Amino acid sequence: MSLPYVPRVTATVDLSAIRHNLARVREIAPQSQVMAAIKADAYGHGAVPVARALAAAGVDALAVACLEEALVLRDAAIATPIALLEGVLSLAEARLAVSQDLQIVVHAPWQLQLLQQLPPQTPLQLWFKLDSGMHRLGFPVSAAAALFEMLKANPAWQFHGWITHLACADEADNPMTSVQISAFETALKNLAGPRSIANSAGLLAWPQARVDWVRPGLMLYGASPLPDKTGSDLGLRPAMRVESRLIAIQDLAAGESVGYGATFRATEPMRIGVVAVGYADGIHRMLPSGAPVLVDGVRVPVIGRVSMDMISIDLGALPQAQINDAVRLWGEGLPVEEVAKWAGTLAYELFCGLTNRVHLLHS
């Protein structure tokens, strides 16, 4: 469909990169089934197109945070199994989850009590989440045997397995991951049911976490969850590139400043560009002077503060730059992990922080 305007900021998602990254997960954890985390609109990549691409590539299940996110997928006729990682919040949600063939992750006694109010023949599809040490969601590991008894008492319930979540899997020398895995495995020693432990960092860095199911999110989008490695070090392909364009070029004299707060001041005559992208698009306001953007394949630095709709860049290295030139904020040639580091955050937050003013395109 042709637009009556030029899209100001675009996030272009290469679905073949996402399929490649799924294949990479399969290579690393060949014995595991894959539940792809596509919550938060597939980390800003567009849940429906990403789910379709993953489904076509044979993903075993999808994971979203909540019912609302799952309904978007079912409305788009995505029939792949879907798990609700935070479970359901009401009886009405539980009934909808059943009618929409959704798997519910049950993480607390109050959720169990809610589900027990449904008629006993209700074909609930359940995962039980155990808290192996992160202390966010989950039953204490000591509750596993009692939960298992409950399954036996409710034959209509379809049990998908046991989940736990790792707090520090991105830290190679942190003993907490082994402690968590061992607490989970010990609690389940004599209990049947598939196990699921690993997020991206878990499955990349901790072979013991590659059990029946893995739950990668970030790595499917081509970014590395490990601080000392890039996506390409891990054999991943970045799926997203974010681009805007130059809308002004200025010549500054020595001593002149740029942007709000006049935080950047030219020490010599310089040529600068103004790019039509800002924090209202999801460019982190903490991105400092010096952080790179890519113009015509050349890295040039941001100068001055990020404002709502614009950033400024130093065009000293690009005498040929012109109005309308594309400026890449991250993507091929400029890893999102690197940009995140400059902004003092993570690739997760940059992806999820893109706003609806950004045109999401899929190729």
Shortest spacing between CB 173 and ligand PLP, in angstroms:
19
Binding ligand PLP (rule: CB under 6 A), the pick from 103, 199, 289, 307 is 199
> Could you tell me which stretch among 109-117, 197-205, 272-280, 313-321 binds ligand PLP (CB under 6 A)?
197-205
* DSSP string for 73-93: HHHTT--S-EEETT--SSHHH
User: The tokens of 303 are what?
Assistant: 């100068």
> Whose Cβ is closer to ligand PLP: residue 107's or residue 241's?
107
Whether 242 and 329 have beta carbons less than 8 Å apart is answered as yes
Site membership for ligand PLP, residue 224 (CB under 6 A): no
Stretch that binds ligand PLP, among 150-158, 205-213, 216-224, 253-261 (CB under 6 A): 216-224
- The nearest distance, CB 8 to ligand PLP, in angstroms, is 28
What are the helix (H) ranges across 217-316? none
Q: By CB under 6 A, tell whether 218 contacts ligand PLP.
A: yes
Q: For ligand PLP, which residue of 107, 160, 165, 328 counts as binding (CB under 6 A)? A: 165
Distance set, CA 340 to CA 227, 260, 273, 335 (Å): 11, 22, 22, 9
Cα distances (angstroms) measured from residue 269 to each of 53, 88, 289: 50, 60, 17
85 binding ligand PLP? (CB under 6 A): yes
As a whole number of angstroms, the distance between CA 286 and CA 266 comes to: 21
Residues 225-228: contacts with CB within 8 Å, 24+ apart? Answer: 225/169, 225/170, 225/199, 225/200, 225/201, 226/170, 226/172, 226/201, 227/170, 227/171, 228/172
Catalytic choice (39, 221, 279, 348)? 39
Q: Which is nearer to ligand PLP, 37 or 239 (CB)?
A: 37
Tokens of 327: 């400026």
Q: What minimum distance in Å lies between the beta carbon of 199 and ligand PLP?
A: 3
Q: Of these, 125, 200, 244, 307, which contacts ligand PLP (CB under 6 A)?
A: 200
Nearest distance from C-beta of residue 252 to ligand PLP, angstroms: 42
Question: Which two structure tokens, joined as six digits, stand for 18?
Answer: 């996402």
Catalytic residue among 5, 152, 189, 260: 260
- Should residue 225 be labelled a site residue for ligand PLP when binding is judged by CB under 6 A? yes
Q: Interface residues for ligand PLP in 113-152 (CB under 6 A)?
A: none
Interface segment toward ligand PLP; rule CB under 6 A; list 44-52, 75-83, 199-207, 336-344: 199-207
φ, ψ of residue 62 to 5 degrees: the values are -120, 155
Is residue 5 part of the annotated active site? The answer reads no
166 binds ligand PLP (CB under 6 A): no
37 in contact with ligand PLP (CB under 6 A): yes
Please enumerate in sequence order all residues whose Cβ is within 8 A of that of 147, keeping only pairs 6 or more positions apart, or say none: 128, 139
Stretch that binds ligand PLP, among 8-16, 46-54, 144-152, 193-201 (CB under 6 A): 193-201
Residue type, 9: V
**160: which residues sit within 8 A by CB, 6+ positions away?**
83, 103, 125, 126, 127, 193, 194
Q: Please confirm, yes or no, whether 221 is among the known catalytic residues.
A: no
Catalytic residues: 39, 260
In the complex, the residues that contact ligand PLP under the rule CB under 6 A are 37, 85, 165, 199-201, 215-218, 225
